[in-house]
Structure 1
Amino acid sequence: MRNAINFVAFQLVWFAAVGGAAHSLWWAGPAAFLVFAAYHLRRGVRARGDLRLMVLALGLGFVTDTLMAATGMSSYASAVPPAPLAPLWILSLWAGFAFTLNHSMHWLTARPLLVSPLAAIVGPLSYYGASRVWGAVTITAPLMHAVGLLGLCWLLSMAVLSLAARRFARAPDDSVAMPLMRSP
């Protein structure tokens, strides 16, 4: 049940971030992520590993989306901070995604040779959907160039994140006391 909640909560973060950006509400994604993070980290279970994954995912997301904006291959609606930096709303997606890797998406991280090529396809499709359906991202380069760069970034990012998730999940003491939060 917790994995189902984790999966649904991340989807809500995705819709808040992308839908919010499309409607000039740059803060909606980060706010939804903060609610997700508060719920997710309240138990303290695997919190240390999840926080490490989040920092790693934020770094990978920052590089990926800043690269896309700096090269002119894409532009982002509600870009706070402004281009060429990756906007906060898309970084909240990367951070939220990290919280799924040892939980609802654990089955993916156990198969890095499968998930990396899959991410090279699904990652760019997510951007394409955010572009075509929501208007939150505008792909300004020739589509195949942008999709190719995104696919490569997602392939490499998922390989790194999958290996890191497996490593962080094996940490001997992965719980961390969170102030004002108790385990049930």
Structure 2
Amino acid sequence: MRHFWANVIGNQLVWLCAVVGAGHGLRWPALLAATAYVGSQLAMSARPAVDLKVLAVAVLCGLVVDGIAGGSQRVVYAAAWPSAWLAPVWILALWAAFAMTLTVSLKVLQQKRWLAALLGLLAPLAYLSASRGWSSVLFAAPSWQGVIILALGWAVALPLLAASARHWQHDAAAVANTNGAHA
């Protein structure tokens, strides 16, 4: 249970460091917080190789989802790269941190991908909060267009991430069972 709460609270702290830092034009708070959080989660993980694979897919999803959102110019990120088509590093740090939740606090999404899609549709609420609270994300008028882009991207990405986590955890368990049978 301790790992569950460390997973939830740690992820929220990474989000806070990232959006406050980006709102001040800084990338390093997100990188530092995400590195510490991911490292701590990997240290507590029963299957760190699975978490690393999910993290890699999450960063790719972030490159696509937030790259499209930024490239569309409907969503503008603070502390961004010169090209709007490249998701900012602080956003990618958030995707990496979020990946760590898919085998712990959000593990239920592995079994209920419809719920993952539904939660994905709600993901823009975090962006709106970052926009209103710290100006780390700005939505071009009309803002609903940027919200829709992010919602659709997350509604595809989150079930994909949940399915990947489930697949790799299942494979790791099968390998562990096979190795245990041979011991």
Common topology (TM > 0.5): yes
Contact 2:3 2:44 (C-alpha < 8 Å) held by counterparts: no
**Counterpart check, 1:143 vs 2:143:** yes
Q: CA deviation at 1:65?
A: 0.9
Equivalent in the alignment of 2:3 = 2
Q: CA deviation at 1:81?
A: 5.8
Distance 1:141 1:52, change over 3 A: farther
Select the structure of larger CA radius of gyration. Answer: 2
Normalized per residue, the structure richer in helix is 2
Q: CA deviation at 1:29?
A: 0.4
Q: Which runs of 5+ in 2 are unaligned?
A: 176-183
Q: Which runs of 5+ in 1 are unaligned?
A: 176-184
- The TM-score with structure 1 as length reference comes to 0.88
Misfit runs of 4+, over 6 Å: none
**Aligned equivalents of 2:7, 2:39: Cα separation in 1:** 12
Contact 1:74 1:141 (C-alpha < 8 Å) held by counterparts: no
Equivalent in the alignment of 2:69 = 68
Please give the per-residue CA displacement for 1:126-155, whole angstroms capped at 9, x wherever unaligned.
Answer: 111111111000111421211111111010
Equivalent in the alignment of 1:179 = none
For 1:108-127, what aligned pairs fall within 5 Å after superposition?
A: 108-121=109-122, 123-127=123-127
For 1:13-92, what aligned pairs fall within 5 Å after superposition?
A: 13-43=14-44, 45-80=46-81, 82-92=83-93
Please give the per-residue CA displacement for 1:11-55, whole angstroms capped at 9, x wherever unaligned.
Answer: 110001111101122111011011012211124521111101001
Distance 1:81 1:51, change over 3 A: farther
Aligned-residue CA RMSD (Å) = 1.8
**Aligned equivalents of 2:34, 2:125: Cα separation in 1:** 21
**Aligned equivalents of 2:35, 2:81: Cα separation in 1:** 17
Equivalent in the alignment of 1:180 = none
In the comparison of the two structures, how many residue pairs are matched? 174
**Aligned equivalents of 1:6, 1:159: Cα separation in 2:** 20
One-letter amino acid of the counterpart of residue 156, structure 1: V
- Deviates further, 40-49 or 163-172: 40-49
Contact 2:10 2:37 (C-alpha < 8 Å) held by counterparts: yes
